[in-house]
Amino acid sequence: MTAVQTWQPVIGYLLGIVTVLVAALVGFRLNRARDEHLRLQEVKSIAAALYAEIIMLRVQAAKMANVVAKRFVQHGMGRRDRPFDEHLFEMIPMPSAPIYEGLSSQIGKLPAHLLLGIVQFYSAYEDARYWLPRLEEKEERPFTYSVLTVLHPALDAVEGIQDTLISIEALVGISPNSELPDLKQAKEVAEWEEEQWAEIREQGD
């Protein structure tokens, strides 16, 4: 028996092991690529759903901020005794965020830079939503809340999410639709009210 014949079983065994290892490696890489693709598709779906809701809520938040600012100015000009009441709140409803709430257990899958911007938006939006009805004067409450309690979070929500929306558009392949809403009146009133409070603090010192 020649040396080649002696080593044939061993060579065949080694070739078999190499073949199995190569097949396993190729299969692992294919599975990994498939899993990464599925994860990316899931991330895109989550981001797209939140994008749609944020666009809608942002428009409403901007509208609310401008209406609150306008009523505040009208009240100062003596045109309204009670600028903030239930009738106004019916005109500028601040809807809840069902998509964000429904995806609360999934948003952690988003990239960190998107996740941070999205969480900050919803936090600011909820702050504005919480304080809006509290602008109404109450007989049983000996004080009133400044419009800044609503305008500050509303402006933060509307303006702060802009870069995140642009990033989502690039990720998902959405045509740009995130033009910043007009906030001129809300910003003017917020700046004026901030100056008034600054003067009050200075006088107090």
Identify whether 64 is part of a domain: yes
CB count in 10 Å sphere of residue 109: 13
Structural domain count, the chain:
1
Identify whether 161 is part of a domain: yes
- In terms of residue numbers, what domain contains 175? 43-204
Identify whether 129 is part of a domain: yes
Identify whether 30 is part of a domain: no
Question: How many residues in total does the chain contain?
Answer: 205
Alpha carbon 104 to its chain's center: 12
Identify whether 120 is part of a domain: yes
Give the residue ranges of DSSP H helices in the chain: 3-76, 86-91, 98-102, 112-131, 148-160, 162-172, 184-204
Looking at residues 171-177, what average pLDDT do you find?
84
Identify whether 1 is part of a domain: no
Q: Give the whole-angstrom CA distance, residue 62 versus residue 55.
A: 11
pLDDT digits (tens, 9 = 90+) for 82-93: 788 888 888 999
Q: Give the whole-angstrom CA distance, residue 107 versus residue 60.
A: 23
Residue 161 amino acid letter: I
Secondary structure class of 173 (helix, strand, coil): coil
152 CB contacts (<8 Å, ≥6 apart)?
Answer: 190
Residue 86 to residues 22, 60, 107, 131, 178, Cα–Cα distance (Å): 71, 17, 34, 13, 31
pLDDT for position 99: 95
- Using alpha carbons, select from 183, 164, 185 the residue that is nearest to residue 110: 164
pLDDT digits (tens, 9 = 90+) for 36-68: 756 878 999 999 999 999 999 999 999 999 999
Backbone angles phi, psi at 81, to 5 degrees: -75, -40
Is the pLDDT confidence value at 198 over 60? yes
Identify whether 131 is part of a domain: yes
Is the pLDDT confidence value at 11 over 80? no
Looking at residues 183-189, what average pLDDT do you find?
93
Identify whether 13 is part of a domain: no
